[in-house]
A and B are shown apart, each in its own frame.
Chain A
Amino acid sequence: MTIKEIQEEIIDEFSMFDDWMQRYEYMIELGKSLPLIAEQYKTDDNLIKGCQSKVWVHAELDGDKLVFTADSDAIITKGIIAILVRTFSNQKPQDIIDADVEFIDEIGLKEHLSPTRANGLVSMIKQLKLYAVAYQTQLK
């Protein structure tokens, strides 16, 4: 599936819910399906700055695709990073670089997109894209 298709699938899933509580509960559920980062990568170097809770992300190439694993000590943050990892993992670095994240707005999590928000969704997106840029250079 392309990034766009995955995003549409997520939008579709969230459209079933009519209030914030159900959306958050689903996000927490999604957090449980997050491909967890191996303990050895849970280092300060892999911590994303700008989050009130801890978020670790690791990336590695599988052929020409980038695979992300992550974890967080806060469950809502874990749900957010799970949504991002589901969108961007197993994609080509260039596609990750080119992707937009407007779907966040459509699934009712727009409030998390503010750059001043302490959970650092913006920092998380930036970090995933930075990995993509780094590996894109390596692929070349």
Chain B
Amino acid sequence: MQRRDLLAAAAGGVAAIAGCSDDDGGNADASIRGETLTLTTTTSTYDTGLLDEVNAAFEDRYGVAVDAVAQGTGAALETGRAGDADVVMVHARSLEDEFMRDGYGVNRRDVMFNDFVVVGPEDDPAGIDGTEEVTDAFRAIAETGSVFVSRGDSSGTHAKERAIWDAAGIEPGGEWYRETGSGMGEVLNQANQTPGYTLADRGTYLSQRSELDVSIRVEGPIEGGPALLANPYGIVAVNPGVHETVNYDLAMSYIGFLTSQRGQTVIEEYTVEGEQLFFPETDSEDPNFEQYVPEGWTPDER
């Protein structure tokens, strides 16, 4: 018995010494090297190929593999709620805010933005080419009963589309309005085959443009279109206080990397066919404090 205690103490001592030498080495990331981070994200970041680029750079720097699961914004957040993801990158601020208010997400940061565009056939049956306001364009599509292909999958793009219909004062429905429940790429393909109109994020549209006959009918804010079509992406860590099994430190490393100069450069330099798809949003001398908390949150509401 005594002998066993002695052995245990010796083993503990060795472990302690080993631990010390690790710390002394100053190689802080040695402890996370080889681990895997689970990220749920939107189909738009995945299908554009941006994520592979960012994740390869992250893996280079931290030695952490990223398992990226491409879902719609709604499903990505739901996976986070269940504690099956460590970090979530999506593009629907209202849904992200709900995620944080419910206690599932912490340390939200703005990451990047691009914009939405209304895409439609060349002969433009609804006559919306160059319309100033996207709400007018949507009204014209509804009034002429031109085919509109909707994501219908509670993704960020779908949330934006619903918001535009609301702003236009129209409840879409009927033969011309097709809810597909598919990802952005599939919906663009369907709009192309039908042909019909759809709302697409510029990134996915550009990355698929060479395969499509439909083209941009209403521009987003990057090309001087209405601000309603802005498309900001945010990243949120899953709250380790709710799900103690999540890899919170890896999640924060990932958020740190994406919002670092290095990560932002990768985003800025990512192009498809010579066009920049995403625009970095974090580096600023004048940080936007609202990115850390739900929009409109004030200290008295706790």
Q: Do A and B come from one complex?
A: no
Which B residues fall within an 8 A CB radius of A? none
